[in-house]
Amino acid sequence: MAQAGLHAAVGNQMRKIIPYEKRIFPALIFGSMLPDIDIIVVAIASIFYPINQAEELFHRTFSHSFFTLIFVFLIFAILSEIKKRPVIKSIGKGIALGMLTHLLIDTLIWFHQIDLLWPLPLQPVNLWYLWETPPLVFQILLIFEFFCFRWYAWFLITQHIKTPGNQAWFVKYLNKWKKWEDYIFLLFIILVVWNPPFFKILFGIAYIPSLIMALFSTYMSRNALELRPESIN
């Protein structure tokens, strides 16, 4: 779970090197954040298990596997053949490529193990196994998520301004979301100083709606995120 805004930024930069296909770029940015949806499963599992055990069982496992992104692409490819609509395959390709960038970034800069070959009974990958992240560093990384969500809201607003269209009405909601992320970020700076024992629970309560809003906003901004051939330099 490297910062969702960072994943979106990397996905956006990949538009410069990936050949244009209709809807592939909005799908790529969407897919670059999608693997972290497993935190919802962790939240549900934490009702039945201690939160640390729920994280170990479900976070960075099924949604962070190469097999999952291949499965996602195949589903979209099959639907494309059935519906005779090539754009569906492009969407699947974009989501799979976005998920791939997410897995690579998490492997390199998120200091925990990742089950890249789930469900095979193999050891998860952890490039940082010789270094234990200090709790304070981990908490700072977590609260930086909200700063990155704030950045992503700003980025989407700028895309709507550059390419105004029939989804421009959504900008007012992006502005509201951006302000809320400011408040949440400031609140969690205070919580880091306070360091309550239920910090992770509060983080999950704030993070889940933020991530859902990021994914929904990407969908609602799909036309603004579209990059056409004449826009490529």
Domain count, the chain: 1
Helical residues (DSSP H) of the chain, grouped into ranges: 4-13, 24-33, 38-45, 51-58, 66-83, 86-109, 135-162, 171-194, 199-220, 222-225
pLDDT by residue for the chain (233 residues), tens digit each? 446 667 777 777 777 788 888 899 999 999 999 999 998 998 888 888 887 788 888 888 899 999 999 999 999 999 999 999 999 999 999 999 999 999 988 888 877 789 999 999 999 998 877 777 788 888 888 898 899 899 999 999 999 998 888 888 999 999 999 999 999 999 999 999 998 988 988 999 999 999 999 999 999 999 998 865 444 44
DSSP output for 183-200 = HHHHHHHHHHHH--TTHH
Domain hosting 62: range is 4-231
